[in-house]
Amino acid sequence: MQTNIIEIFSSVQGEGRYVGCRQLFVRFEGCNLHCGYCDTENEAGAHLMCNVEIAPGARRFREIINPLDANEAAAYINQFLLELPHQAVSLTGGEPLLQTRFLQELLPMVQGKIMLETNGTLPERLAEVLPLVDIISMDIKLPQNTGVDMWSKHKEFLQLAVDNHKDVYAKLVLPGDLVEEDFQKAVEVIASVDDNTLLILQPVTPMNGVPPIEPGRVLELQQMALERLKDVRVIPQTHRMMDQL
């Protein structure tokens, strides 16, 4: 099984529960959604080359011809893990769950903990790789950003992760023009599955004309969420502040 991989590199996790941890990132092509604030060029088939960092943290890359087969990708990943301990290997994108057949081959060969960064809308795909994944960072996508209503998919996805006792948390980007009704719905969906689920509120990084959210509004929203959930934290994209990859 082969697939296009955009890049493999070692850096600091900039978002979510494991912010600050050293992780190895494997970025996959393609996504099933089209968010207005998306910062990843992830069109399927667009990457003829995979950028592989020459050493963990070198911030210089060599180009490997895509697609990579699972053995080849595992060899690069395990070499990085051998050179430097990483808290986890982060599967990111795009949407990594579009590549479940590839992941079924790749993940058993990886000698490290696996973290899945996902938009949380493909529960059927999650079920295919769930035993191979340790940590799930699940985005909650608002209809105002994607143009589609994903509430039932999000609920099914989170339920599956919780039922299988996965280390799962939800992450919600707060745009400047947040629709409060959608925010409350997101909180309700999480609470209806498990009110112990950590919710990370991530104020949007203002770029490409996306408006920032007011600081006072962020506090109001955290307070609102804390009325239904036990652990709600505000964490921006810290890797951008530090000029990390």
Q: How far apart are CA 245 and CA 238, in angstroms?
A: 11
Judged by CB under 6 A, does residue 236 bind ligand SF4? Answer: no
Q: Residue 94, interface with ligand SF4 (CB under 6 A)?
A: yes
Q: How far is the CB of 205 from ligand SF4 (least distance, A)?
A: 12
- Both tokens of residue 174? 């707060």
For residue 85, the Cα-to-chain-centroid distance in whole angstroms is 21
Minimum CB separation of residue 165 from ligand SF4 in Å reads: 25
Distance CA 80, CA 57 (A): 10
Describe the crossing of helices 215-226 and 180-193 by its angle, rounded to 10 degrees: 30
Closest to ligand SF4 by CB, 10 vs 119, is 119
Tell me how many residues contact ligand SF4 (CB under 6 A): 11
* CB 87, CB 43: distance < 8 Å: no
Distance CA 43, CA 197 (A): 32
Tell me: does residue 100 bind ligand SF4 (CB under 6 A).
no
Q: 12 in helix, strand or coil?
A: strand
Kindly tell me which residue out of 16, 56, 93, 175 binds ligand SF4, with binding defined by CB under 6 A. 93
Phi, psi of 50 (to 5 degrees): -105, 125
Query: Cβ(162)–Cβ(140) under 8 Å?
Result: no
Residues 20-39 that bind ligand SF4 (CB under 6 A): 31, 33-35, 38
Q: How far is the CB of 236 from ligand SF4 (least distance, A)?
A: 15
Strand, coil or helix: 89: strand
Instruction: In angstroms, give the least distance from the CB of 31 to ligand SF4.
Output: 3
Among the candidate windows 77-85, 93-101, 153-161, 181-189, which touches ligand SF4 by CB under 6 A? 93-101
Interacting residue with ligand SF4 among 15, 95, 156, 182 (CB under 6 A): 95
One character per residue 109-128, x = contact with ligand SF4 (rule: CB under 6 A):
----------x---------
Q: Name the residue nearer to ligand SF4 (CB basis): 94 or 175.
A: 94
| CB 232, CB 222: distance < 8 Å | yes
Q: Which residues in this chain contact ligand SF4 in the complex, by CB under 6 A?
A: 31, 33-35, 38, 40, 42, 93-95, 119
